[in-house]
Structure 1
């Protein structure tokens, strides 16, 4: 098995372990701890001893190598959250003898991709005593049923879903009053339901990752957007932290990118700036360090869809297993500029990593990433890249098996490049 195939298999393991942002952070911490990183508590004095550190707040995790003196920062930024459905505070509902769960749409999910799937729940319970308990239900519990074609003969000419009425999962039969979903979840977590003050619970697809295609050249999995990038970033920062090449490698996996990043633990919040200021030697010392620093904003991009090629720019078609794409946009929906692009291209040349370029069709405006937010907030040169995927924001996405490994390889070089 090649290194890139091993990386794809390890990504599948990471995705399976990470059904919510909080579980993704826990799995990242497990891997960082195994590599010798130690925790820097946010409310504790800053540990200046050289070595690997990590800091966690809720669904956001940062990791870095603490150096004996400030060095140019090389930052890998991704996000831990994915589009889907979040359970409402009072979830118990239903009608006509069905027990149902009230959910809200989280981010720009492709709603129809969640229909008729076996679904679990994962997230955290906050208790009255201040304790936060992780929980995951990994057996088929919920399902969002489609309407039979006999009851909507025009469905294949256009499916219309109402988020309030049509996306309520069923989770059993019986009177709504007898269907206490939170009591059920609390029992799974091993806590008294009466002590649960609040919760953050997300619906997740239970289908395991799988390779497909004649030569197993493709990887299908939930939450590739953006756990593929988180996994590559953790891999890269662990590897780069073992090299002392005159840089300070940093990884950050933000929460809340899919809903705009405007939160305390999102890219628009202060958490990363606080950590980078410490690494630069304090506020008064950070200006020259930031000026010599670079950031790699890493989020998946669109692979060319063979059934909808007219939606893509014909001269910038992303191909699975063609390597990560450099993401370019004239109005800075991606933060890439020429010097940043050159730094990425250099990392790919040094490592022999294939790379390609993504530019959106002029008639199909692109989305955005944490890159422009970070560049604006910090003034650090930022370049956007990502592996190509099909079915972005679906319950299940598709990428090339080689690309996650290519991304980790080039990112490791980027984090250690002092030029």
Structure 2
């Protein structure tokens, strides 16, 4: 694998994916370009052996799969999971605010965002708009303003001398972004702004009905560091995993074994939605891949899910926040995530499989366990394992600044994980 080419394409994917809708659309485009056949959940499916398919739900989640050449009940499925959403600022339904002759938009905090880094950044907006055409039909379209149109200015230290010691953030009053000045009653109408964006795509909206719009940082993803060792970008959690899973499935698309990638939405807010991991999306697709419930149950008992989500790299300034024997290092390989209380779904069996796959690809592997006196996050892994009864392992790539507006990962880690996932998709024997 050419790691340089891999990383440049990863950066292009990150740049094209400012929201879960765009991340899903970009994956769908790439799968279609590779010959995967688009499926519609509202239509009947006639799946064939040795074929490639993909299906999206609500524009923000995707499942891509290959059928292989054998019996699913005896071969099982090689499944990789990730999620398309990231913590962000989401525009409210009645968002327009004016004060002191400035136009702002009210926002909600989506997920567990680290808010301090959102200040003093060049922000744009993107997302999905639902609109009505002249015939009364409801339509959806994606928009991306692309250029920097807003900022959340910090309060100057002269006006808050304790800022470096005790400043806290009120998400209702402190973070509405500033977009422009206003004069008198000349206040922008946000829905009219969205309509103009639709018209720039040669669409003809009669009315903008509603929207799911997020602010995002316009600074492009980059490879950085004195030795070019790091990747810096927004939304590495968890588009890094979406990309590695997609790249692996495309690389292993001719595997004779059934393979599947699922990228759910809404993991950052609990996964309980039609397109979240707690919803029925994956099970309903699997029920259509397998002919009967008995076949599905047999297939799942021969299947493995690798849940891929980022891991906390040990921060040199805060090393005491980690267990001394379980501090993942950036560029030292994928991380097996383990938790005694099932916040991660890893077992000794599934962990062993990942270790064997890494050894086969000559890729180093690490382990993460949170300090016993600290809690840890969770992933789609336990949700999928409990919902399907499939053996699951949680794996991630070490990162700094998780849930910040800009996160940091390793130049080598994503390419190495993709190699391991490709081997997994091509593996004949999984677990006893």
**Deviation of the 1:229 alpha carbon:** 0.2
In 1: Cα distance, 2:53 partner to 2:252 partner: 13
Alignment of 1:146-225 (within 5 A): 146-174=154-182, 175=184, 178-190=187-199, 191=203, 194-225=206-237
Alignment of 1:25-174 (within 5 A): 25-50=24-49, 51-57=51-57, 58-68=59-69, 69-70=71-72, 71-128=75-132, 129-174=137-182
Q: Does the 8 A contact of 1:4 with 1:404 survive in 2?
A: no
Q: Does the 8 A contact of 1:222 with 1:396 survive in 2?
A: yes
1:4 maps to which residue? Answer: 3
Matched residue SS, 2:153:
coil
Matched residue SS, 2:343:
coil
In 2: Cα distance, 1:100 partner to 1:388 partner: 36
Match of 2:247 among 213, 235, 251: 235
Q: Does the C-alpha gap of structure 1 residues 89 and 287 become closer, same or farther in structure 2, counting only changes over 3 Å?
A: same
**Deviation of the 1:214 alpha carbon:** 1.2
2:259 maps to which residue? Answer: 249
In 2: Cα distance, 1:187 partner to 1:200 partner: 16
* CA RMSD, Structure 1 to Structure 2 (Å): 1.3
TM-score by length of 1: 0.97
**Deviation of the 1:177 alpha carbon:** 5.6
Q: Does the 8 A contact of 1:72 with 1:418 survive in 2?
A: no
Match of 1:366 among 342, 363, 376: 376
Q: Does the 8 A contact of 1:5 with 1:405 survive in 2?
A: no
**Deviation of the 1:159 alpha carbon:** 2.0
Matched residue SS, 1:141:
coil
In the alignment, does 2:21 pair up with 1:15? no
**Deviation of the 1:54 alpha carbon:** 0.1
In 2: Cα distance, 1:104 partner to 1:165 partner: 11
In 2: Cα distance, 1:377 partner to 1:259 partner: 18
**Deviation of the 1:189 alpha carbon:** 2.2
